[in-house]
Structure 1
């Protein structure tokens, strides 16, 4: 942790305030008619996601936390933890599964993931934008249904349900977006 003056805060920085960690969303310096400038800061609580408006005087100091974005390789999941490996040192790090929320099923073995560390503690995790998965269940195409008509439901090898074009069949590998599980394209073999 390092102290810095309130007027040095910038978007993307992480600070500790009242025992909580916040990401700075934006800051404005307001100069009233009389008196000293005020720094108006919009920030988001890292744990709860709640937004907060806070004002400081320029002379005030805040605790800036060291952040680091690092790539890890996903090894395996155990209980409610995800085990990651540092590709450089081969050291293992554990992070709670809930760090990924609804994107958890798209975590695939040996996938490279991005982890944001604050003071060495993992607080956020990003997945690649797309992942290739196998279709394990898909409705058969209805006779007379054209290729341009609506998508049909399918189940992927990770248990996620998604909608796929009518020409996709069981056993095929498709590329889906990790953000929402939506169909992107047929995987290139």
Structure 2
């Protein structure tokens, strides 16, 4: 396993600490007038999502964490288990609901995602940043009502609820930003 030092930290660098994978969110090399230099680091446990801030000696050594990302197609769910298929080997991987993350509520069947694993165990799912989904339930839109920044609740085909502009109707296809859960635009047919 390759090692890295705290002096090598950059945003997005992954390292192992106490046998757990961490990713650097922010870093700052500090060289005070007196005393030794240090690296102020904000990092996140990629499995639990816990964020910590800590200062390290620039020569402190860490194992480099190898987080594997591989394509998998979301097929279906059965209760709390969600099944993903490897597009090359057709192997099925069942995952528990608590591994999926908040953005997964915008994913429909047959969507290509990325499974993230560390030492062979899957800890998370990366979903596409944008999804085109159909509105299944909302109040009817009023013709000519184009007031800006006025929204109404709507239910998507995946069951997720979001806020949409007043002119959106049932059956409309819209684009959602899965990172924020916000309406972006109406899809062009």
Provide the TM-score with structure 2 as the length reference.
0.78
Matches of residues 11-26 of structure 1 in structure 2 within 5 Å? 11-26=11-26
1:25-53: CA deviation from partner (whole Å, max 9, x where unpaired): 34444456677654443322221422231
- Please list every run of 5 or more consecutive structure 1 residues that lacks an aligned counterpart in the other structure: none
CA deviation after TM superposition for structure 1 residue 57, in Å:
5.1
For structure 1, which segment, 172-181 or 65-74, has the greater mean C-alpha deviation from structure 2 after superposition? 172-181
Between Structure 1 and Structure 2, how many residues are aligned?
186
Q: 1:77 to 1:42 in 2, by over 3 A?
A: same
CA distance in 2, matches of 1:173, 1:35: 60
CA-based RMSD: 2.8
- Please list every run of 5 or more consecutive structure 2 residues that lacks an aligned counterpart in the other structure: none
Do residues 167 (structure 1) and 181 (structure 2) align?
Answer: no
Provide the TM-score with structure 1 as the length reference.
0.78
Q: 1:25 to 1:138 in 2, by over 3 A?
A: closer
The 8 Å contact of residues 40 and 56 in structure 1, kept in 2 or not, is answered as: no
Q: 1:33 to 1:155 in 2, by over 3 A?
A: closer
CA distance in 1, matches of 2:144, 2:26: 50
1:76-108: CA deviation from partner (whole Å, max 9, x where unpaired): 223333222222222222333223332222111
